[in-house]
Amino acid sequence: MPGYQLKINGKSFTVDVASDTPLLWVLRDHLNLVGTKYGCGIASCGACTVHMNGTAVKSCMLPVSGLANAEITTIEGLSENGDHPVQLAWEEVDVAQCGYCQAGQIMTASALLKKNPKPTEQEIVKTMHGNICRCGAYHRIREAVKLASTKI
Amino acid sequence: MTRSIDKSRRDFLKITTLTAGGFMLGFNWLTNEVKAATVIKTVAGEIGFNSYLSIATDGLITLFSPNPELGQNIMTSFPMVVAEELDADWTKVKVVQAVLDTARFDRQSTGGSGAVPHSWYLLRTAGATARYMLVAAAAKRWNVDPAECTTEKSFVIHSSTGKKLGYGELAQDACSITVPDRVKLKDRKDFKIIGTAVKNVENSKIHTGKPLFGLDFYREGMLHAMIQRPKAFGLKVKSVDAAEAKSMPGIIDVVTFGNNVAIVGKSTWEIMKARKTMKIEYEKDGNLESSADHDKLFKTLLDTGTPTVQRKDGDVDAAFKNAAKIIKSEYQCPFLPHSPMEPMNFFAHYRADGIELVGPTQTPANARGAVSKLLNVPEEKISLQITRLGGGFGRRLKTDYVTEAAELSSIIKAPVKVTWMKEDDMAGGSYRPAVKYRFEAALDANGNMTGYKLRGVGINAGNCTRQDNFPSGAVDNLLIESIEHVSPITTGAWRAPITNFLAFAEQSFLDEVAYAVKKDPVQFRLELLDRAKNNPVGEIKYDIDRMVGVIKLAVEKSNWGKKKDVSQGFSVYFSHRSYVAQVCEVKMESGKPSVKKIYAAADCGEVINLSGARQQVMGGIVDGYGHAMFGKLTFTDGETDQKNYNSYRLIRMREIPEILPHFVDNGIDPTGLGEPALPPTGGAVANAIFKATGSRIKNQPFNEHSVFTGKKLKSTMKNSGIN
């Protein structure tokens, strides 16, 4: 198997995996970065969302072979001390119920605010549409994204 | 309030000096009044105590949270109760998830909205006892009467001199204080923590992606596995050809046990790929049922099946024979998968000296019991570590995904984590049963409901009625019956079992009757409740005053019946031990009803954590609304037609209505809130849609109804003019 050079959370890693291995499983099984979650495996739920060059992408269908020169950020690397404005807003609003989808929600929200620091409610809802929260914490997720936009 | 600590409990109280210094109060949660005698006898001499409330010399207070956390926020609300009675500084409380330990904990499970009601006094007494001992220790040191001392934020204070000592400084001394016979619990007016909004104690771990969930568990040397189960209910394995899979990179073995074909390997992705190459032949092992068959079956069973009578009051035959008018209506719901975000998974390590189990389960004791029975290993040789659960909704009450991991580990003699793909979850059971109800109401010439009949038929649903719920007790002649169809399709408890659909059907039917007799739907219910209170028929097993209380609060908050620009629908339901009334508001947009707002009035007794309680009400309503609108799992020849989120629709952010939760403040001991907000939602929504469109939705999912699809649009019926 070829070795793939990956840049994740500012660090370089080499992984020996098949070329079609999705980034999700490289993170979880090979790099012990388990904050990125497996939800559906078909890019329909958003639990596996990470940043690729600053854009939110679903890592469950992103083969490792396509990641050369890409800068990947996972929930573990979003901030050094868990104090990214989106993480702080999530705490302030007390969003999580079971919490399983929240890393993906936070990564989607933080990518949105990076590109569009003052989104309208419509823009927030449109962007967050790809992330399912089975506990139904959507009201607080929306509120937290709005709050974070005042902190960025 | 004084809470006595009975003799048996005192015997099991134990104080231990921590090795690092400090105070550890062992509290026997088993000595819950009801079960005390039997449980203690079983384990006498074996156990000392259960959950530890420990206070280290630096003031850190640690509490083990025994119940599995799946989003109901138990890890926050339990310690809040202890901290309240202890007068602890909340910022210095640390909460740790306990492992399964039936000798130390009672009811270590999550389900039935029962954890807080069950443990309310145990938790309070634990906190109050520790506080008593800390105060006594301080008083002794100061040589004053303990009655002169107060406590605040982990300090004992001598009021007249202003002297202060921290709990950490007193922890060592407190160990020598005799455990009291009785402790005084706080008056609720003095609560400082209970009833406030406290943030989830695990937030920072969740927000930074720390390993918390079963799927995150990793053990050095652990193997990964997936299991191919029969693709349809009613099939069994005939032959397996896994030669190609076994030759693929990273694959260690393919093992067949029962109807499970397990593929074991070094990494998840390698297993997923190799799994696709397995050629498995199946043969029939039962009926291969289809949803279309169920539709016909429901009709046949409702018409000609042999029902089990669940409740019978008066003479329904006479009531219907003498009725001036009869209203008859049928409601049907499909199967639903639980679909928690974290798929089923469990780690198991079968060794000569016992079995280690780690993973997400709502019923750890049942899981261990099932593994013990299956593999013939005594329970005391099986450990079970409870991880955080990425949702449960009832699916993780089952033990199938635990036993299979343990069995596989016993076969391959290695530590292994079995992970289900989302497709395995959705196709593998065990679902909210499909059910159909037939309601009939007999009305006399004055519009009084003189007879009421409900016959329910469900697939593996057991008794699909709740025969003693409202309106039982309010109608002279009543007959509640159920019929069960036994099927190979596995079903089970799904958040608010049975009532998650029954409430919609019943509350919609009562709305139909209210309109038929030209009464305001709220007034109609209040009159029935008034009848049940003043002149009850048979046994009443719900609290009429609490039900009236939530109705009145919902009416007040929603300004029921007084709004001109929206169509309102009402629903109220009692489930588990709590009461929730809801008013839904609908507006017509582009010819279709749009659900704008849902007001909720909940009576769950004392609210522990206002933030968590709001989450449970809002989340429960989103859950109830989303599944009523979109949820549908169907079968063709025993196989689910939906496999994943691309074909099975869950509610998403843009579909949520505004939700306004309110709580009745009546000081009743907590009665639980994990489920009760869900059942009333479908009825409130459908009743509001009826008000707006004149069309009555009787089947789930709602989005297949003509008011949404635009197909077969009926001419808008002018409704009765009553709200």
DSSP string, B576-636: TTEEEEEEEEEEEETTEEEEEEEEEEEE-SS-SBHHHHHHHHHHHHHHHHHHHHH--B-EE
CA distance B436 to B433: 10
* Interfacial B residues in 384-403 facing A (CB < 8 Å): 388-393
How confident is the model at residue B25, as a pLDDT?
58
CA distance B81 to B85: 7
Mean pLDDT of B28-42: 29
Cβ(B375)–Cβ(B471) below 8 Å: no
Lowest mean pLDDT among A71-75, B197-201, B649-653, B719-723: B719-723
* Contact flag B209-A76 (C-beta cutoff 8 Å): yes
Whose tokens are 């009613």? That residue is: B234
* Contact flag A47-B388 (C-beta cutoff 8 Å): no
| Final residue of a structural domain among A54, A77, A100 | A77
* Interfacial B residues in 68-97 facing A (CB < 8 Å): 69-73
* Contact flag A40-B422 (C-beta cutoff 8 Å): yes
* Contact flag B200-A140 (C-beta cutoff 8 Å): no
CA distance A69 to chain B (A): 23
How confident is the model at residue B48, as a pLDDT?
26
Looking at the structure, do residues A7 and A70 belong to the same domain, yes or no?
yes
Contacts for A99 with CB less than 8 Å, ≥ 6 apart:
B71, B200, B202, B206, B212, B388, B390
CA distance B721 to B723: 6
Q: Is the dihedral of CA A63, A68, A70, A75 positive or negative?
A: positive
CA distance B478 to B452: 5
How confident is the model at residue B37, as a pLDDT?
19
Looking at the structure, do residues A13 and A65 belong to the same domain, yes or no?
yes
CA distance B569 to B597: 11
How confident is the model at residue B123, as a pLDDT?
86
* Contact flag B268-A28 (C-beta cutoff 8 Å): yes
pLDDT digits (tens, 9 = 90+) for B254-306: 999 999 999 999 999 999 999 999 999 999 999 999 999 999 999 999 999 99
Is pLDDT larger for residue B239 or for residue B723?
B239
Name the pLDDT band for B722 (thresholds 50, 70, 90): very low
Residues of A in contact with B611 (CB under 8 A): 94
Mean pLDDT of B185-201: 97
* Interfacial B residues in 601-620 facing A (CB < 8 Å): 611, 615, 618-620
* pLDDT higher than threshold 90 for residue B41: no
pLDDT digits (tens, 9 = 90+) for B216-255: 999 999 999 999 999 999 999 999 999 999 999 999 999 9
CA distance A20 to chain B (A): 9
Domain residue limits at B359: 214-285+344-419
Cβ(B193)–Cβ(B611) below 8 Å: no
Per DSSP, chain A holds a count of helices (H) and strands (E) of 5, 5
* Contact flag A82-B208 (C-beta cutoff 8 Å): yes
Is pLDDT larger for residue B21 or for residue B500?
B500
pLDDT digits (tens, 9 = 90+) for B685-706: 999 999 999 999 999 999 999 9
Looking at the structure, do residues B501 and B642 belong to the same domain, yes or no?
yes
| Final residue of a structural domain among B185, B208, B231 | B208
The answer to whether residue B304 sits within a structural domain is no
CA distance A34 to B205: 12
Name the pLDDT band for B51 (thresholds 50, 70, 90): low
Nearest by CB to B391, from A22, A36, A134: name it: A134
Q: Is B116 on the interface with A (CB under 8 A)?
A: no
* Contact flag A40-B645 (C-beta cutoff 8 Å): yes
* pLDDT higher than threshold 50 for residue B7: no
Stated pTM of the model: 0.94
Q: Is B659 on the interface with A (CB under 8 A)?
A: yes
Looking at the structure, do residues A71 and A9 belong to the same domain, yes or no?
yes
Is pLDDT larger for residue B19 or for residue B670?
B670
Looking at the structure, do residues B561 and B677 belong to the same domain, yes or no?
yes
* pLDDT higher than threshold 70 for residue B633: yes
pLDDT digits (tens, 9 = 90+) for B167-176: 988 887 887 7
The answer to whether residue B329 sits within a structural domain is no
How confident is the model at residue B429, as a pLDDT?
87
Looking at the structure, do residues B91 and B145 belong to the same domain, yes or no?
yes
Name the pLDDT band for B32 (thresholds 50, 70, 90): very low
Contacts for B292 with CB less than 8 Å, ≥ 6 apart:
none
Could you list the beta-strand ranges (E) of B217-305: 223-228, 235-241, 251-257, 260-265, 279-284
How is residue B673 written in tokens?
A: 């809130």
What DSSP letter does each residue of B189-230 carry, written as one string? Answer: GG-SSTTB----TTHHHHHHT-S-BGGG---TTPEEEEEE--
Name the pLDDT band for B310 (thresholds 50, 70, 90): very high
How confident is the model at residue B36, as a pLDDT?
23
How confident is the model at residue A83, as a pLDDT?
97
How confident is the model at residue B114, as a pLDDT?
85
Question: To 5 degrees, how large is the angle CA B30–CA B32–CA B35?
Answer: 80
* Contact flag A17-B267 (C-beta cutoff 8 Å): yes
How confident is the model at residue B182, as a pLDDT?
83
Looking at the structure, do residues B579 and B515 belong to the same domain, yes or no?
yes
* Contact flag A25-B422 (C-beta cutoff 8 Å): no
Which CATH number do you get for residue B15?
3.30.365.10
Looking at the structure, do residues B229 and B152 belong to the same domain, yes or no?
no
* B687 φ, ψ (degrees, to nearest 5): -70, -35
CA distance B269 to chain A (A): 6
Looking at the structure, do residues B414 and B459 belong to the same domain, yes or no?
no
Burial class (CB in 10 A: 0-12, 13-18, 19+), B50: buried
Mean pLDDT of B572-596: 97
| Final residue of a structural domain among A24, A47, A77 | A77
Looking at the structure, do residues B413 and B439 belong to the same domain, yes or no?
no
Strand B435-443 to strand B325-333: parallel, antiparallel, or no bridges (unpaired)? antiparallel
Lowest mean pLDDT among A7-11, B103-107, B309-313: B103-107
The answer to whether residue B314 sits within a structural domain is no
Q: Is B629 on the interface with A (CB under 8 A)?
A: no
How confident is the model at residue B697, as a pLDDT?
98
Looking at the structure, do residues A8 and A71 belong to the same domain, yes or no?
yes
* pLDDT higher than threshold 80 for residue B5: no
Lowest mean pLDDT among B47-56, B197-206, B316-325, B454-463: B47-56
* Contact flag A94-B650 (C-beta cutoff 8 Å): no
Cβ(B675)–Cβ(B502) below 8 Å: no
How confident is the model at residue B34, as a pLDDT?
25
Write the single-letter amino acid at B442: A
Domain residue limits at A119: 85-151
Q: Is B596 on the interface with A (CB under 8 A)?
A: no
Looking at the structure, do residues B219 and B193 belong to the same domain, yes or no?
no
CB atoms within 10 A of CB B610: 15
The answer to whether residue B586 sits within a structural domain is yes
How confident is the model at residue B403, as a pLDDT?
98
How many domains in chain B?
3
Looking at the structure, do residues A69 and A105 belong to the same domain, yes or no?
no
* pLDDT higher than threshold 80 for residue B648: yes
CA distance A89 to chain B (A): 10
Looking at the structure, do residues B265 and B128 belong to the same domain, yes or no?
no
* Contact flag B623-A138 (C-beta cutoff 8 Å): no
Which CATH number do you get for residue A15?
3.10.20.30
- The proportion of chain B whose per-residue pLDDT surpasses 70, expressed as a percent, equals 91
Looking from the CA of B640 toward its CB, the CA atoms found within 13 Å total 25
* Interfacial B residues in 261-290 facing A (CB < 8 Å): 267-270, 272-273
Looking at the structure, do residues B407 and B439 belong to the same domain, yes or no?
no
Mean pLDDT of B413-419: 98
Residues of A in contact with B388 (CB under 8 A): 98-99
| Final residue of a structural domain among A39, A58, A77 | A77
How confident is the model at residue B52, as a pLDDT?
54
Question: To 5 degrees, how large is the angle CA A88–CA A90–CA A96?
Answer: 145
The answer to whether residue B425 sits within a structural domain is no
Instruction: Say how many CB pairs under 8 Å bridge A and B.
Output: 182
How confident is the model at residue B723, as a pLDDT?
35
Looking at the structure, do residues B151 and B245 belong to the same domain, yes or no?
no
Q: What is the mean pLDDT of chain B?
A: 91
Name the pLDDT band for A151 (thresholds 50, 70, 90): very high
Look at residue B73 and give its three-state secondary structure. coil
Lowest mean pLDDT among A51-60, B69-78, B678-687: B69-78
The answer to whether residue B260 sits within a structural domain is yes
Cβ(B135)–Cβ(B102) below 8 Å: no
How many domains in chain A?
2
Nearest by CB to B650, from A37, A42, A134: name it: A134
Give the residue from chain B lying closest to A35, CA to CA. Answer: B209
Q: Is B196 on the interface with A (CB under 8 A)?
A: no
Looking at the structure, do residues A40 and A96 belong to the same domain, yes or no?
no
Mean pLDDT of A103-108: 98
* pLDDT higher than threshold 50 for residue B338: yes
* Contact flag A135-B619 (C-beta cutoff 8 Å): yes
How confident is the model at residue B19, as a pLDDT?
45
Residue among B574, B508, B538, B506 at smallest CA distance from B314: B538
Looking at the structure, do residues A95 and A145 belong to the same domain, yes or no?
yes
Write the single-letter amino acid at B433: P
Looking at the structure, do residues A22 and A59 belong to the same domain, yes or no?
yes
CA distance A53 to chain B (A): 20
Residues of B in contact with A28 (CB under 8 A): 268
Mean pLDDT of A131-136: 98
Looking at the structure, do residues A140 and A99 belong to the same domain, yes or no?
yes
Looking at the structure, do residues A46 and A107 belong to the same domain, yes or no?
no
CA distance B350 to B383: 11
Residues of B in contact with A96 (CB under 8 A): 71, 200, 202-203, 206-207
Residue among B554, B466, B473, B461 at smallest CA distance from B503: B466
* Contact flag A42-B659 (C-beta cutoff 8 Å): no
CA distance B200 to chain A (A): 7
* Contact flag A44-B644 (C-beta cutoff 8 Å): yes
Looking at the structure, do residues B405 and B482 belong to the same domain, yes or no?
no
Name the pLDDT band for B50 (thresholds 50, 70, 90): very low
Q: Where are the alpha helices (DSSP H) in chain A?
A: 23-25, 85-93, 102-115, 121-128, 138-151
Name the pLDDT band for B718 (thresholds 50, 70, 90): very low
Looking at the structure, do residues A109 and A59 belong to the same domain, yes or no?
no
* pLDDT higher than threshold 60 for residue B432: yes
Looking at the structure, do residues A114 and A95 belong to the same domain, yes or no?
yes
Which CATH number do you get for residue A122?
1.10.150.120
* Contact flag A132-B652 (C-beta cutoff 8 Å): yes
